[in-house]
Amino acid sequence: VHNKVMGTQAAELFTEIDKLRAQLLNNVEVITDCQRVDEEISQEILTHIENIILGIVTSLSKGEAPVLTLPNRSSWANVSFDSAIGLQMSSGASVSVIRSDCPSSVTKFAQILKILSVIYRLVQRNSYATKRDIYYNNTQLFGSQTAVDSIVDDISCMLKVPRRSLHVLATSKGFIAGDLRYIEEDGTRIDCHSSSAAVAVSSNIGGIKNIVSSAKFVLIVEKDATFQRLLDDDFCTKLSPCIIITGKGMPDVNSRLMVRKLWDTLHIPIFALVDADPHGIEIMCIYKYGSVAMSFEAHSLTVPSVMWLGLLPSDLQRLRVPEDALIPLTKRDESKLGSLLKRPYLTSQPDWQKEMELMQQTRVKAEIQSLAAIAPDFLTSIYLPNKLRYGGWI
């Protein structure tokens, strides 16, 4: 009898989630598999790099100072919003010119050439390196890891190919757990629910194959602390089958690629659990709509179907979260909230707007941990199960 009761409870638990999934499947545009063969892309990259070098040699032979042009990756003016794809780089994007005869940009010019030569060799030999390897290859020239990271993204944007096609990998900071098994490119079998600890998100998402999961939903968790709490409280078993993933704050590209890969493979609802503050909302928007800096790779990074599960500003009132668990908005929060409300994608999200306007009016924010002020296990035993059962997402 116990099992039968558990079975009906589980069935009821997922009614709303199943309805949401049916809606999402109706809206899924069948994305034709236009993944071009790796060899083709590799050949194009090599040719493209050769042409850049040829341009430099030509300038030198004419006695001119060579320049490199890069698309500008930090301006909202360069992106357009498409509800099916997220933020995308516009075709007429403005560019910045890196001159070799100008003291302020000569170092960057040299760094770009150095990294182009590293990429050329990697692609030619069909081997991979991490961004860290590249930095340690010449610490003096690069000066910092961030310089390398930024230039690799610039090159990816300039050559119009995803970073993985440049054979450059990044070590992941995200973690994943729950009902999920897959095989990595090198043949390693990964089982995310065989251990109480989480599995680190793969550094090579493009190479993952044979994804097996019967999960009903994916829960993106903003913070590592909350993610660990869910693991400790055995959330994945209580709400089995499901998958939880965290990018530990601002998500890295691998965490975003992983969420996208799960969506493309499983087509199940994806929910976000973030702090009820402007920073949390911004993180959720990055998973859903993408970021300006990576807009050139939007079509492989964003998941427009992401739903906001919590912590909603309206939840704070509804659940009567104790006053002392609420934090007043700072000036910085208020200006971030104002700028979020002006973003192009929010016009299509009136429910999100309402929640953000409520935050503006009440002038308070709260962390997910604030729910512990109601009861220590409130998040995992009451809040999340009820939200998921009764469709408390927007």
Domain CATH number, residue 372: 3.40.1360.10
4 falls within a domain? no
User: Same structural domain for residues 179 and 201?
Assistant: yes
**DSSP tag of 253:** H
User: Same structural domain for residues 305 and 332?
Assistant: yes
Residue 244, SS3 per DSSP: strand
* 0.85 surpassed by pTM: no
Q: The domain that contains 111 carries what CATH number?
A: 1.10.10.10
User: Same structural domain for residues 144 and 207?
Assistant: no
User: Same structural domain for residues 82 and 222?
Assistant: no
pLDDT higher at 1 or 95:
95
User: Same structural domain for residues 136 and 236?
Assistant: no
Residue that is written with structure tokens 């100072």 in the block: 65
How confident is the model over 294-348, as pLDDT tens digits?
666 667 788 888 999 989 999 999 999 988 889 999 999 999 999 999 888 888 8
Distance CA 154, CA 275 (A): 31
pLDDT higher at 133 or 218:
218
136 falls within a domain? yes
Provide the domain count of the chain.
Answer: 2
How confident is the model over 194-211, as pLDDT tens digits?
666 789 898 888 888 899
Q: Which residues are catalytic?
A: 136
Name, in order, each residue with C-beta under 8 angstroms of 162's C-beta and a sequence gap of 6 or more: 156, 206, 297, 300
**Is the Cβ–Cβ distance between 59 and 66 less than 8 Å?**
yes
User: Same structural domain for residues 199 and 256?
Assistant: yes
The residue range of the domain holding 105 is 38-169
